[in-house]
Amino acid sequence: NAGVTQTPKFRILKIGQSMTLQCAQDMNHNYMYWYRQDPGMGLKLIYYSVGAGITDKGEVPNGYNVSRSTTEDFPLRLELAAPSQTSVYFCASSRWSVAVGTDTQYFGPGTRLTVL
């Protein structure tokens, strides 16, 4: 049981380049999330998904896109990278049901992205 995995761990991009950050979980969690960590600002939610085929914007979605074609995978796409997107990106997953309610989020190890 690997939990939440993210690739790559580090990446340097040039302004205007694009890339996809990969996230996968093997816990059969229905909910998945992408956050960015900015210094002194904690975690900001970029996008989330409540199940395969369903995604929604969080607090800071501009410049990003997501898809959720399977329960396990939730990739984050950066189009036309900008220096403002330099950050550490965390993927997380959790299980939510009407019967049980909310559960804790499990976080991946993070991807450190630098845009120069």
Q: What is the smallest separation between the CB atom of 82 and other proteins, expressed in angstroms?
A: 22
Identity of the amino acid at 114: T
Instruction: Compare residues 17 and 107 and give the one whose CB is closer to other proteins.
Output: 107
Residues that bind other proteins (CB under 8 A): 31, 33, 35, 40-45, 48, 50, 56, 58-59, 90, 94, 96, 101-110
Q: How far is the CB of 15 from other proteins (least distance, A)?
A: 27
70 burial (CB, 10 Å; 0-12 / 13-18 / 19+) is exposed
Q: How far is CA 97 from CA 25, 26, 74, 77, in A?
A: 18, 18, 19, 28
Find out whether 93 and 33 touch, Cβ atoms under 8 Å: yes
Distance of closest approach, residue 98 Cβ to other proteins, in angstroms: 10
Name which of 79 and 103 has its Cβ closer to other proteins: 103
